[in-house]
Amino acid sequence: MPVLSKLSIAANVAVIGASGGIGGEFVRQLSAAEHIAQVHAFSRAGTDFADDKVLSHTIDITDEDSIRHAALAASAEAPLDAVIVAAGMLHAGSIQPEKSLAQIDPQAMLEVMQVNAVGPALVAKHFLPRMRRDARTVFAALSARVGSIADNRLGGWASYRASKAALNMLLKTAAIEQARRFPECIIVGLHPGTVNTCLSKPFQRRVPEGQLFTPEKSVTHLCRVIDGLSPTDSGRCFAWDGNAVDY
Ligand SMILES: NC(=O)c1ccc[n+]([C@@H]2O[C@H](COP(=O)([O-])OP(=O)(O)OC[C@H]3O[C@@H](n4cnc5c(N)ncnc54)[C@H](OP(=O)(O)O)[C@@H]3O)[C@@H](O)[C@H]2O)c1
């Protein structure tokens, strides 16, 4: 079955975070699908997928003007059928996930919030009005199981956990609002599993054998999950295996 098979024929899709492990794999799998006509690949520095179907653009999700321009570029010729937000951060330079509250640094915490929660909210603000209105559409943002308050048994990683919990709330809020004017639009958070990318690299030692996914395996699962969703699922968060993640 082709990926995101329930989208319209000649679908127009956008991937934000196309330079990342998971985002890049979404671009590859979506552009290989015959019914998808155009994939807009957004990243801070631009990408080269060597595929005529893939248009490379730049975006910085900490800059609203950049997001506004990106939304206009992606929908200039056709409304959007799907938007995948795969941008996010866990660590960068001196910013590392906290082991305890004593390690919280307000500036670092704000930066993580900015990229993981405020950024995707602004992407929703500018991209959701540009989605197709007369058919099934999908807006999916990569969240994480550690953003589940109900599932937090270990503590630690305060900024990342809080940013993904905030993202889940923002997606739920967006879903309620979007349903009023775009009843066929499905807005969800996705937990991809633990995936072998730059983001997880420093933390892979404790991943049990067989539980570290390749981006290909994770994205194949996530596309299957998206295909199984209906508008009544909008506002929820789903893991790679199709199970809902509790808030
Ligand atoms: N890997 C995992 O095990 C795992 C598990 C749970 C959830 N997730 C989530 O999945 C998503 C993708 O992660 P990944 O594993 O693919 O990580 P990754 O390979 O490090 O990719 C992160 C992506 O985010 C982009 N990004 C960071 N800051 C940005 C900004 N200000 N503006 C635009 N783009 C920005 C990066 O772009 P640049 O190239 O410009 O830096 C890159 O494309 C994240 O939201 C992450 O929290 C991952």
pLDDT, tens only, 57-70: 999 999 999 999 99
R_g over Cα of the chain:
17
- Which pLDDT score, from 0 to 100, does residue 3 have? 85
Report the distance separating Cα 234 and Cα 187, nearest Å: 5
Q: H or E stretch including 16?
A: strand 11-16
Ligand 1: centre distance to CA 81 (Å): 22
pLDDT, tens only, 73-125: 999 999 999 999 999 999 999 999 999 999 999 999 999 999 999 999 999 99
Residue 43 lies in a domain: yes
CATH number at residue 165: 3.40.50.720
Mutate to test the pocket of ligand 1, among 15, 59, 142 (most ligand atoms within 8 A of CB): 142
Answer whether 62 contacts ligand 1 (Cβ < 6 A).
yes
Residue 147 lies in a domain: yes
Residue 211 lies in a domain: no
Please state the pTM of the whole predicted model: 0.98
Residue 58 lies in a domain: yes
Residue 5 lies in a domain: no
Which of helix, strand or coil describes residue 39? strand
Report the distance separating Cα 97 and Cα 4, nearest Å: 33
Kindly report the backbone phi and psi dihedral angles of residue 128, in degrees, each rounded to the nearest multiple of 5, phi listed first. -60, -40
> Per-residue pLDDT for 133 more than 70?
yes
The ligand 1 atom at the shortest distance from the C-alpha of residue 87 is: 24
- Find the domain containing 51 and state its range: 11-193+219-239
Which of helix, strand or coil describes residue 164? helix
End-to-end CA distance of the chain: 31
pLDDT, tens only, 169-225: 999 999 999 999 999 999 999 999 999 999 999 999 989 989 999 999 999 999 999
Which of helix, strand or coil describes residue 85? strand
HEC secondary structure over 46-71:
CCCCCCCCEEEEECCCCCHHHHHHHH
- Which pLDDT score, from 0 to 100, does residue 1 have? 65
Domain total in the chain: 1
Residue 209 lies in a domain: no
Tokens found for residue 245: 């993640």
Answer whether 38 contacts ligand 1 (Cβ < 6 A).
no
Residue 49 lies in a domain: yes
Question: Where residue 2 falls among pLDDT bands split at 50, 70, 90?
Answer: low
Ligand 1: centre distance to CA 179 (Å): 28
Average pLDDT of the residues in 148-168: 97
- Which pLDDT score, from 0 to 100, does residue 156 have? 97
